Amino acid sequence: MAAEDRPQITLITPPSFDLDVFPTRLASVLDAVDVACLRIALASKEEDNLLRAGDVLREVAHARDVAVVIENHLLLVERLGLDGVHLTDGARNVRKARKDLGAEAIVGAYCGTTRHEGISAGEGGADYVAFGAIGDSALGQGTQADFDLFEWWSEMIEVPVIAEGALTVELVERFGPVTDFFGIGPEIWGSDDPLAALKTLLAPLG
């Protein structure tokens, strides 16, 4: 696959992690693989936890010229000096996020498996939409975003798209030609060697 056609990588944090360990693991991955964006996807709703984690991860990522977005916590973007927000409820809050954060911020939206939701998010000002899961996953409704959705999107819509959820080497190979980004997180962080796991996953992209 030609370099200009190769999908970029959005790296997704685990829902919880040890702040004494994870930043070092993250840094080793970012030092070895070209990553476009880091998504902070913490399950915690504790503001103190989010602020401490956000501070540390922003420093790790920004030192390597990697953009950082946080899931849903619109009010923390400016407080933490992040680059934007990733909304997990489709198009619903895209216009508000764009208005609140301004034209320069990254606003992304996870739109499940729904073409209409993705189009609405793009019209609302989203910089990208994410569809998934593309693999077998028990998350959400258990429904999958199929190849046809990405193929249609890549031909018809200019808003960049992320393929994510239960990725495998086979899925990376299949979806590589029809997606702009792969969102990768759970697939590698459970491994003893996340970097090796990531490289294996991305091998089909050349």
Domain count, the chain: 1
Measured between alpha carbons, how far is 78 from 118 in angstroms, rounded to an integer? 26
- For residue 20, give the CATH number of its domain: 3.20.20.70
Cα radius of gyration rounded to whole Å, the chain? 16
Query: What is the average per-residue pLDDT within 121-130?
Result: 98
Reply yes or no: is the peptide bond before residue 133 cis, omega within 30 of 0.
Answer: yes
Q: Please provide the DSSP assignment of the chain as one string.
A: --GGGSPEEEEE--SS--TTTHHHHHHHHHHHS--SEEEE------HHHHHHHHHHHHHHHHTTT-EEEEES-HHHHHHHT-SEEEESSTTTTHHHHHHHH-TTSEEEEE-TT-HHHHHHHHHHT-SEEEEE--S---STTS----HHHHHHHHHH--S-EEEESS--HHHHHHHGGG-SEEEESHHHHTSS-HHHHHHHHHGGG-
Question: What's the pLDDT at 138?
Answer: 64
**pLDDT per residue as tens digits for the range 50-100:** 999 999 999 999 999 999 999 999 999 999 999 999 999 999 999 999 999
Angle at 64 between CA 82 and CA 107, to 5 degrees: 30
**pLDDT per residue as tens digits for the range 185-196:** 999 999 999 999
Question: What's the pLDDT at 197?
Answer: 98
Query: What is the average per-residue pLDDT within 40-59?
Result: 96
Measured between alpha carbons, how far is 128 from 205 in angstroms, rounded to an integer? 21
Query: What is the average per-residue pLDDT within 164-170?
Result: 97
Q: Are 164 and 134 in contact (CB under 8 A)?
A: yes
Measured between alpha carbons, how far is 173 from 14 in angstroms, rounded to an integer? 24
161 lies in which domain range?
Answer: 3-205
Question: What's the pLDDT at 206?
Answer: 85
